[in-house]
Amino acid sequence: MKRRIILLTGITAVLAACGQQAEPESPAIPMAQPGSPTVGAGGASTPPTADATTADGAGVITAVDPAAATITINHEAIRSIGWPAMTMTFKASPAVLREAAVGDRIQFDLTVRDGAGEVTAIYPH
């Protein structure tokens, strides 16, 4: 019975020691190429195109600026898009900003396009 095994560093030597042979296959972990999508800490890919990615996060509102249509959030890591915990300013609609107050601990929905985020909804946390 043949088994297909994805090759990882060191697995060939382990299999050889057990008397088994691994079949070559494409690498399990792709190497980044210039111009290719970047891979974040959570394994999520952020495409370099204008395509939007959605995510959700949690954090504390540190500023609300209705004139600039922005909200600043000290957020926890957002693993689905590979962002570490940090304080960031995001675009937000007037409807979202009306619900926001400095000091509120929130969960939020986020749309990311070309590396810039827009908070599309906030929820008490």
Query: How does the average pLDDT of the chain come out, rounded?
Result: 73
Q: Is 124 left (phi over 0), alpha (psi -120 to 50) or beta?
A: beta
pLDDT, tens digit, 9 for 90 and up, residues 10-65: 333 333 444 444 444 333 333 333 333 333 333 343 343 458 899 999 999 999 99
In residues, how long is the chain?
Answer: 125
Half-sphere exposure of 44 (CA within 13 A, CB side): 14
The answer to whether the CB of 39 falls within 8 A of the CB of 25 is no
The answer to whether the CB of 49 falls within 8 A of the CB of 39 is no
Output helix, strand, coil percentages for the chain, rounded to the nearest 5.
15, 40, 45
Beta bridge partners of 54: 111
pLDDT cut 70: percent of the chain above it = 60
Residue 11: per-residue pLDDT:
34
Tokens matching residue 43 = 């394994």
What integer is the mean pLDDT of 83-93? 96
Q: What is the pTM of this model?
A: 0.60
